[in-house]
């Protein structure tokens, strides 16, 4: 994460298992960042030992997302990269209760939509940036987690095709216990501009 174009970052999803490691890496490379989560205490714990900012914030609805975008711009200025963390998958098979699928789409798809709606215009006006969604790889046969992943990838592809987002890159990265997070972060921190 040495690219000088990345100077500010938002880490959304502080309750994810990998959030502390990513926060530490952002700190070590001198990137000004905010860890954000609906659970403000989780966000605080992620920035402990770093100079990161913690914020309680949600991407659950337009009002919350717009307020969060404003607050983050006030704290960080222009945002170079948003890393959205998601801890899917949930249960396997076709017998997944509706509540579990709703929770999966709530944790993976809604944040992408809200980021696109409330953060991409500001990033585009500031000449670019990067949106990265990191999620746990679904277990083999986990049809609903795979479906949710496909929805997210399609949403990112659709945003990438919007003329407003010409200078923004979108990445979807599935991670598991064997993933080299350092290499993943290094890749994400490449040029912030598409």
Structural contact between residues 36 and 26, judged by C-beta atoms closer than 8 angstroms: no
Strands 53-56 and 81-86: unpaired
Check pLDDT > 70 for residue 31: yes
**Does domain 8-188 match CATH 3.40.50.720?**
yes
Q: pLDDT per residue over 63-85, tens digit each?
A: 999 999 999 999 999 999 999 88
Comparing C-alpha atoms, which of 132, 117, 127, 192 is closest to residue 162? 117
Lowest mean pLDDT among 28-32, 50-54, 105-109, 183-187: 105-109
Tell me which DSSP letter residue 193 carries: B
Q: Tens digit of pLDDT for each residue in 154-167?
A: 788 888 888 878 88
Report the candidate in 127, 33, 37 with the shortest Cα–Cα distance to residue 76: 33
Which of 49-58, 77-86, 168-177 is predicted with the least confidence, judged by mean pLDDT? 168-177
Query: What does the alpha-carbon distance between residue 168 and residue 38 come to, in Å, rounded to a whole number?
Result: 26
Strand partners of residue 129: 168
User: Looking at the predicted structure, is the pLDDT value of residue 95 above 60?
Assistant: no
Q: Where residue 3 falls among pLDDT bands split at 50, 70, 90?
A: very low
DSSP state letters, 90-154: ---STT--HHHHHHHHHHHHHHHHHHHHHTHHHHHHTT-EEEEEEEEPPPTT-HHHHHHHHHHHH
26-35, 38-47, 106-115, 122-131: which range is least confident on average?
106-115
- Evaluate if residue 10 carries a pLDDT over 70: yes
pTM exceeding 0.85: no
Average confidence (pLDDT) over 75-100: 72
């Amino acid at each position: 994460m040495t690219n000088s174009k990345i100077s500010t970052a938002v880490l959304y999803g502080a309750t994810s298992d990998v959030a502390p490691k990513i926060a530490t890496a952002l700190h070590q490379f001198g990137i000004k960042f905010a860890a954000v989560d609906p659970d403000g205490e989780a966000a605080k714990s992620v920035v402990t030992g770093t100079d990161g900012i913690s914020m309680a914030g949600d991407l659950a609805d337009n009002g919350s997302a717009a307020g969060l975008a404003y607050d983050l711009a006030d704290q960080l200025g222009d945002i170079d990269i948003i890393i959205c963390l998601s801890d899917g998958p949930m249960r396997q098979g076709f017998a997944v209760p509706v509540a579990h699928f709703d929770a999966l789409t709530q944790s993976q798809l809604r944040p992408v939509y809200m980021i696109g709606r409330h953060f991409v215009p500001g990033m585009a006006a500031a000449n670019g940036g990067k949106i990265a969604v990191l999620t746990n790889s679904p277990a083999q046969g986990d049809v609903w987690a795979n479906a949710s992943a496909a929805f997210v990838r399609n949403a990112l592809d659709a945003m990438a095709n919007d003329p407003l987002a010409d200078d923004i890159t979108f990445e979807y990265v599935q991670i598991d216990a064997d993933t080299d997070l350092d290499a993943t972060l290094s890749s994400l921190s490449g040029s912030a501009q598409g």
